[in-house]
Amino acid sequence: MKLPGKIPEEIFIYSKTFLEETNVEEWCLVNMDMALVQSNPGINKKTAHRYISEDLNTLEKLYPEIKIIQERVAFVRKELMKKNQGNSAGLKEFWGKQLKNYEMNVIRKKTNEIGVEASALNLTSAYIDNLALSRKREIVGESSSSKHRKMNTSSYDINNQVESDNMYLKPGGFSVGTTIKRHALLIHNDFKKGEKLTNRKRKIMVAGLSSILDLSDASPESQRSLFTDKEWSSMIKFFEKKFPLSVIELPQYLQDAITIISNTCDNNSLEKGFKYLYKLYATNKIDENKRSMLQILEHCLELMKDYQHLLNKSNNKPLYTEQDYFHTLWSRIFQLLFKSHKHIRIKSGESIPPIGTMDKQSQYPDVNNTFGFKVDARLVVDVNNKEYDLWAVEVAKDDSDPKVISDLGKLIREGKDNTDEIYTTLAYDGNEDDKMSWIIQVSGANCRFSSVHLARDGLYVILKRYMFNLPNSMKEFDKIAKDLMMLITFKVGDFNSTNIDNHIHWMRDTWYTPSQNARLSTVPANMFSRIDRIFSEEVVLTESEEDNEVEKEGEKEEEFSKVDEYGYRKVSNGWLNIFTKNITEQHPLQESDDDDDDDDEI
Per-10-residue mean pLDDT for the chain, 602 residues long? Answer: 87 88 92 86 80 88 91 90 64 76 67 46 34 37 43 57 89 90 94 90 95 94 93 94 87 92 86 92 86 94 93 75 90 89 83 81 78 87 82 82 73 92 66 77 91 93 93 91 88 48 79 84 84 66 52 44 68 74 72 42 32
Question: Which amino acid, residue 36?
Answer: L
Q: Is the pTM of this model over 0.95?
A: no
CA–CA separation, 445 and 399 (whole Å): 9
**Which H/E stretch holds residue 575?**
strand 574-577
Radius of gyration of the chain (CA): 28
Amino acid at 212: I
So what's the pLDDT on residue 566?
A: 60
* Sequence-ordered list of residues with C-beta below 8 angstroms from that of 422, at least 6 positions apart, any chain: 388, 390, 428, 435, 436, 437, 495
Which stretches of 352-498 are assigned E, i.e. beta strand? Answer: 375-383, 386-396, 427-428, 437-443, 446-456, 459-469, 495-496
User: Is residue 123 a contact partner of residue 108, using CB atoms and an 8 Å limit?
Assistant: yes
How do 459-469 and 446-456 pair as beta strands? Answer: antiparallel
- Measure the CA–CA gap between 212 and 215, rounded to whole angstroms: 9
CA dihedral (12, 15, 18, 22) positive or negative = negative
CA-CA-CA-CA dihedral for 221, 222, 223, 229, to nearest 10 = -60
Sheet of 459-469, strands arranged across: 212-214, 459-469, 446-456, 437-443, 386-396, 375-383, 344-351
Counting every residue written for the chain, the total comes to 602
Q: Give the per-residue pLDDT at 505.
A: 81
CA distance 438 to 392: 7
Distance of CA 132 to the CA centre of its chain: 30
Quote the CA–CA distance of 435 and 500 in Å, as a whole number.
Answer: 13
Domain ranges for the chain, please list them: 16-113, 131-242+531-544, 252-520, 562-601
Position 125 scores a pLDDT of 35
Cα separation of 186 and 255, whole Å? 52
Which phi-psi region, left, alpha or beta, contains residue 528 (left: φ > 0; alpha: ψ -120 to 50)?
Answer: beta
Residues 464 and 235: beta-carbon distance below 8 Å: no
pLDDT score recorded for residue 452: 94
User: H helices of 283-321, where?
Assistant: 288-306, 308-311
Pick the closest to residue 151 from 186, 195, 178, 201 (CA basis).
Answer: 186
- Under 8 Å between Cβ of 166 and 496: no
